[in-house]
Structure 1
């Protein structure tokens, strides 16, 4: 049956485009440093989620489902890391020289993908709910490609939106307000990770 990918694409689009840590980070970096400086984060999200989806798909799902305590550890690691990123965003100073500024690096972003429990839950949901049993490996690779395309579109959209806001709000004061707002959004996402089941 060829219609398995329709509900999958709907799920992926909602999960990937909706406001969340990766998109908030992309918007913040786009606002403060421009689109080019978002590319390491974008690549880290693509690489991290692709590997995660592949690993879950080829068999680690049983292990993850068996050891629920691992999710709890990942949840708290992710939360502390996001709070650290929120602090960095909130306290970052407006810097007109974007060549000297230092947004999130590829390594930092990749580390976040590894410990992000929401990404693991999304990968588990995809593998256990949306993928067909027949031609499973082919479906898994198609899903990885679709998710990569959607991630590139989503991160790019949020980054461009951030850059557009920068053109509107150019003063140091409005930049600080924007950064603080993005930090608050990250803190809200942490609270959702911790307290929303």
Structure 2
């Protein structure tokens, strides 16, 4: 991969992962509710899980949709249902003191698996492979996946830190409740392009 293409890929990848979407909204909510340290497994699940998804998309997993078109509809239904469930969990998150005892952030495996039902992740993976691994050869797919590891680390850390910093402001239970409701609403809003494509 040439330097120019790698620079373009890195820019594309950073812009796609750092903009608001389900992963980032959940990380910010987790940072606010659980703090940075407890959110690290969630962060790592995204940082490594999404590039793995990109890799598998690049080596041909999309052919499943071509062979069984119903699988795309099933994935869409599963994605919507799971995002609504996560939005409900965020909206009903306990205050930090209770959360420490009762609640817990997503685990590494949960957040890595979430990538497969995240509509934004599918869109990003398909776009990245289509634009930067056009030949679908192993080397180019690995480059795209590796770049996503680097930029995902930047994005997950940033959004979690934002959430943790908001935690000071959200010590008031009423503010935290409003924050969680707003985060849940925004997470549901990320479904609009999936349910009503332009």
Stretches of structure 1 lacking an aligned partner (at least 5 in a row) = none
Is 1:9 the counterpart of 2:10 in the alignment? yes
Q: For the Cα contact (< 8 Å) 2:84–2:188, is it kept in 1?
A: yes
Residue aligned with 2:5, SS: helix
Q: For the Cα contact (< 8 Å) 2:79–2:117, is it kept in 1?
A: yes
Stretches of structure 2 lacking an aligned partner (at least 5 in a row) = none
Per-residue deviation at 1:168?
Answer: 2.2
Q: For the Cα contact (< 8 Å) 2:132–2:144, is it kept in 1?
A: no
Cross-structure match for 2:194: 193
Cross-structure match for 1:152: 153
Q: Could you say what the CA RMSD is over the residues aligned between the two structures, in angstroms?
A: 2.1
Cross-structure match for 1:41: 42
Once the two structures are superposed, residues 14-71 of structure 1 have per-residue CA deviations (whole angstroms, 9 ceiling, x without a partner) of: 2100000000000000001100121111121123212211212222333334544322
Cross-structure match for 2:130: 128
Q: For the Cα contact (< 8 Å) 2:29–2:163, is it kept in 1?
A: yes
Cross-structure match for 1:24: 25
Q: For the Cα contact (< 8 Å) 1:42–1:155, is it kept in 2?
A: yes
With the length of structure 2 as denominator, give the TM-score of the two structures. Answer: 0.88
Q: Residues 6 and 68 from structure 1, CA distance in 2 versus in 1: closer, same or farther, beyond 3 angstroms?
A: farther
Cross-structure match for 1:168: 169
Residue aligned with 2:135, SS: coil
Q: For the Cα contact (< 8 Å) 1:30–1:160, is it kept in 2?
A: yes
Cross-structure match for 1:109: 111
With the length of structure 1 as denominator, give the TM-score of the two structures. Answer: 0.89
Per-residue deviation at 1:93?
Answer: 1.9
User: How many aligned positions are there?
Assistant: 196
